[in-house]
A and B are shown apart, each in its own frame.
Chain A
Amino acid sequence: MARKLYSDAASALDGVLFDGMIICAGGFGLCGIPERLIDAIRDAGTKDLTIASNNAGIDGEGLGKLLRTRQVKKMISSYVGENKEFERQYLAGELEVEFCPQGTLAERCRAGGAGIPGFYTKTGVGTQVAEGKEVKTFDGEEYILERGIRADLAIIKGWKADEAGNLIFRKTARNFNQPMATAGKVCIAEVEEIVPVGGLDPDQIHLPGIYVNRLIVGSPYDKKIEFRTVRERVAA
């Protein structure tokens, strides 16, 4: 069986990176982002990247690191608030942005990974998102044609995996990681723990190993919280 396990992010990325490539990056805000792989891409200095990711990180965190080093040419995202450097580059015309509705982005990756080059959706009909896209009427309702996304590389963050790449996510850190994994010609996953084959229940796998080409342990993680909200304990 082909070995999927790599010692670190840099070696897992060896031979995969090239200037101008398209990358799908999992995560929602700073939740479930492939931090080690982002750091290694920054260190590799790969340029002119097109990155499909729901968000663009925040200043100095997540994909914000690749924005700071000007490695990103274009973002395909649904929401890019909370990021001053992004805003500066965007307003200066240094960074191209394709705004894509969140559900359309998830479906574009799911479709791309499933060999579906396009699909029709009601999302965005009659809005700027529909500009230049084919409109088709089904059962009296208008839909627009959206393209599937196939990326040169998918980078994702999981919780646990076995050595075959079968992978489990944790809570809302699953988000875009699952569809984006399938959209990459190559998918590299970083996880908190790798167990021997047989160590995970086959009925509980969220992402079958067929979608995971390379695998690293990225622990220990210092997971960031964007908005810490708590409630007070009411004394009994």
Chain B
Amino acid sequence: MVWTRDDMAARAAKELRDGYYVNLGIGIPTLVANHIPAGVEVTLQSENGMLGIGPFPYAGEEDPDLINAGKQTISELPQSVYFSSADSFAMIRGGHIDLTVLGAMEVAENGDIANWMIPGKMIKGMGGAMDLVAGVKRIIVVMEHTSKNGDPKFISACTLPLTGKNVVDMVITDLAVFQRPDHHSPFRLIELAPGVTAEEVAAKTTAKYEALATA
């Protein structure tokens, strides 16, 4: 039983700690907001200039002046605050954001991440991804374990143009979770999705990693 998109988001949400300031990327990372553990309060940052992202507005209450970084209408909370893009990225680049959860096309065993362009295809741009991976204290990647063609995405070295070099701290896929304690250490397999074997993960991974510690 591989993890669904929601399972992966829920697993990422377990990494949240009370009081964290968090930036969530577009796609599966956005779902993390639906799985914040009980008793944990986090403040979500939107890089277009807001801390304290509220839920989607009720129909009829949408405000064109109030959107998230995915350009979706959102609402504000009593503790929300707005600021400019320059202040927003000063927070991000200045190391004031505790955690970010991002999607990726490739992650390498050395912590490199590629998630912004595929040569030969229309480039849409990196948005704030390069700033986030360079500046946020802890970087969690959530992605399918393999591409649509079945190719591994957690690999020995990225083949696509990089978003950041040696920046990823944790990788959560539909099959497993990998983590490293610092940017000098290798990743270790720390968790398997229910029914998934370490052998299956190994067969679908070309990155070198340390084996699951056996109890």
Which residue numbers of A lie inside 8 Å of B, CB to CB? 28-32, 54, 77-81, 87, 90-91, 97, 99, 101-107, 109-110, 121-129, 159, 169-179, 206, 223-233
Could you say which residues of chain A place their CB within 8 Å of the CB of B70?
A: 227
Asked if residues A225 and B73 are in contact (CB atoms below 8 Å), the reply is yes
In angstroms, how far is the closest chain B Cβ from the Cβ of A56? 9
Complex interface: stretch among B1-9, B83-91, B174-182 = B83-91
Indicate which residue in A30, A101, A127, A174 contacts B128 across the interface (CB closer than 8 Å). A101
- The verdict on B195 contacting chain A, using a C-beta distance below 8 Å, is no
Closest to B122 in A: A87
- The verdict on B64 contacting chain A, using a C-beta distance below 8 Å, is yes
Contact with A along B28-59 (1 / 0, CB 8 A): 00000000000000000011111000011111
Asked if residues B89 and A174 are in contact (CB atoms below 8 Å), the reply is no
Asked if residues A230 and B48 are in contact (CB atoms below 8 Å), the reply is no
Cα of A224 to Cα of B215 in the assembled complex, Å: 56
Complex interface: stretch among B13-21, B137-145, B158-166, B202-210 = B158-166
Asked if residues A79 and B134 are in contact (CB atoms below 8 Å), the reply is no
Closest to B163 in A: A127
Which residue numbers of B lie inside 8 Å of A, CB to CB? 46-50, 55-59, 61-74, 76, 82-86, 88-90, 92-93, 112, 122-131, 134-135, 161-166
Asked if residues B164 and A126 are in contact (CB atoms below 8 Å), the reply is yes
Asked if residues A172 and B46 are in contact (CB atoms below 8 Å), the reply is yes
Q: A29-B71, A103-B85, A227-B67 are in contact. List 12 more A-B contacts (CB 8 A).
A: A28-B67, A28-B71, A29-B48, A31-B65, A79-B124, A91-B122, A99-B126, A122-B134, A129-B126, A129-B130, A175-B85, A230-B73
Closest to A110 in B: B86
Asked if residues B73 and A28 are in contact (CB atoms below 8 Å), the reply is no
Could you say which residues of chain A place their CB within 8 Å of the CB of B46?
A: 172
Closest to A54 in B: B85
Closest to B112 in A: A126
Could you say which residues of chain A place their CB within 8 Å of the CB of B86?
A: 106-107, 109-110, 178-179
Cα of A217 to Cα of B124 in the assembled complex, Å: 33
Asked if residues B85 and A90 are in contact (CB atoms below 8 Å), the reply is no
In angstroms, how far is the closest chain B Cβ from the Cβ of A212? 15
| With contact pairs A125-B165, A171-B63, A226-B67 given, residues A78 and B134 touching in the complex (Cβ less than 8 Å) | no
Interchain Cβ contacts under 8 Å between A and B, 8 examples: A54-B85, A90-B122, A101-B130, A103-B47, A170-B65, A171-B65, A229-B74, A230-B61
Could you say which residues of chain A place their CB within 8 Å of the CB of B47?
A: 102-103
Asked if residues B89 and A102 are in contact (CB atoms below 8 Å), the reply is yes
Asked if residues B131 and A178 are in contact (CB atoms below 8 Å), the reply is no
| With contact pairs A123-B93, A172-B82, A179-B84 given, residues A102 and B161 touching in the complex (Cβ less than 8 Å) | no
Could you say which residues of chain A place their CB within 8 Å of the CB of B135?
A: 103, 122-123
Closest to A206 in B: B84
Could you say which residues of chain B place their CB within 8 Å of the CB of A173?
A: 64-65
Could you say which residues of chain B place their CB within 8 Å of the CB of A229?
A: 56, 72-74
Cα of A209 to Cα of B61 in the assembled complex, Å: 32
Could you say which residues of chain B place their CB within 8 Å of the CB of A105?
A: 85
Indicate which residue in A102, A176, A226 contacts B127 across the interface (CB closer than 8 Å). A102
Asked if residues B162 and A126 are in contact (CB atoms below 8 Å), the reply is yes
Cα of A52 to Cα of B74 in the assembled complex, Å: 26
Cα of A81 to Cα of B116 in the assembled complex, Å: 12
Could you say which residues of chain B place their CB within 8 Å of the CB of A223?
A: 64-65
